[in-house]
Structure 1
């Protein structure tokens, strides 16, 4: 990391959920306290494919809605999986560099598999190594819910060493899959919350401190260790 990059905020590419949008995710992320968000450079990207069916966001958020890739009913077959990864990589080449990825739902499923595929040299060959992941309502390709597309067949064949923060809802329909995903990562950091399949509120909560500690650890290892982010856990209520 160059000195100029080290002095910047962590730059994070944010991948929204299934049949949602960058705008929806950005709106939902404002549930997180400004004291945390202001320390991050969050970039939101719309998936490349318009929604091919009804969105769970209808009636709550305005269209358009997008999806990253498509699968059959039991997710044993996929379409546009490699194409969506190429789309993301092209965006990262033109708008990066990025330090980490944040994903929600389908975006988290995709993000979780990318470090393993990148380590194999199959994807993201034109961009720097992914340094960390923030996975909200994630699941594992090749797990009980989703089979693995051929490109991701070995994404979790070895424990993923990429530092990861997993945000898991007590009432989330994918909670079992989010918990199962933890076994695929080395020393995952876990934030539990009481909400369902959503971006949870972290304000006035110990969860904020856990997120701060995770990001502080990243910055200490990848930049100056003299309070670069200006975080103070004692000041978070």
Structure 2
């Protein structure tokens, strides 16, 4: 039992729109080692090559990916079911995973997954999602964004799993991220003063995140998986908008 409690929560990390897994890996290096050493982070590229210009061109190297596509006013979505199948296949082949970390588009998607999974509409072959870490995300159907058909009832009931939400004061998705809080039971929130990015945490933020990790470590986990934990060897010294 003691070994089980000490196992690092294994987290599947979903990057932002028209970026990639390596970029999110670099951005998460802004989190302190006291946080990173307690999590087994696995970074996955989206299934579809970017269909337009990326905001990080000239800052981070391509290729860039998308999880799904939508029309200009976000009333129609494309390749959403294919995205869910792609993630499920990866989880089955490379799991088990305990939870998700999502940034931007990856956070929108991650936030909807527990509800879809509980309804048998997504990740049917994968283990149950036990927690979420959502950075600069939002809720399908709230404020500016429509809803993919498969996610139309994802928030019909409050999501009753531990959730940690990063909300930036200067984030263009601040309103969306705030609206998302109402979809969860007892959400844990880290507010930060910058924009649409992974922030460096102040002492209060570090304390909040470590407390959240302590909470999810007490959840009964899936069986340990023999894998090499993603290493964190690169650092970033600046904030970007992605």
TM-score (norm 1): 0.90
Shift of 1:127: 1.0
Shift of 1:7: 4.0
Shift of 1:162: 1.8
Q: Which runs of 5+ in 2 are unaligned?
A: 222-242
The aligned residue for residue 13 of structure 2 is 14
**CA distance 1:126–1:148, change in 2 (3 Å):** same
Cα distance per residue 1:183-219 (max 9 Å; x no partner):
11110000000010001012x5210110110110111
- 1:13-162 alignment runs, 5 A limit: 13-162=12-161
Task: Say which of 200, 204, 207 aligns to 1:206.
Answer: 204
Q: How many residues are treated as equivalent by the alignment?
A: 221
Cα distance per residue 1:86-135 (max 9 Å; x no partner):
10110000111000100000000000000000010111110111000000
Cα distance per residue 1:48-73 (max 9 Å; x no partner):
00010010111111111000000000
Q: Is the Cα–Cα contact under 8 Å of residues 30 and 198 in structure 2 kept in the other structure?
A: yes
**CA distance 1:90–1:4, change in 2 (3 Å):** farther
Separation in 2 of the partners of 1:52 and 1:221?
39
Separation in 2 of the partners of 1:99 and 1:39?
13
Q: Which runs of 5+ in 1 are unaligned?
A: 224-237
Higher RCO (CA-CA < 8 Å; seq separation 6+): 2
TM-score (norm 2): 0.88
Q: Is the Cα–Cα contact under 8 Å of residues 116 and 151 in structure 2 kept in the other structure?
A: yes
Separation in 2 of the partners of 1:221 and 1:49?
33
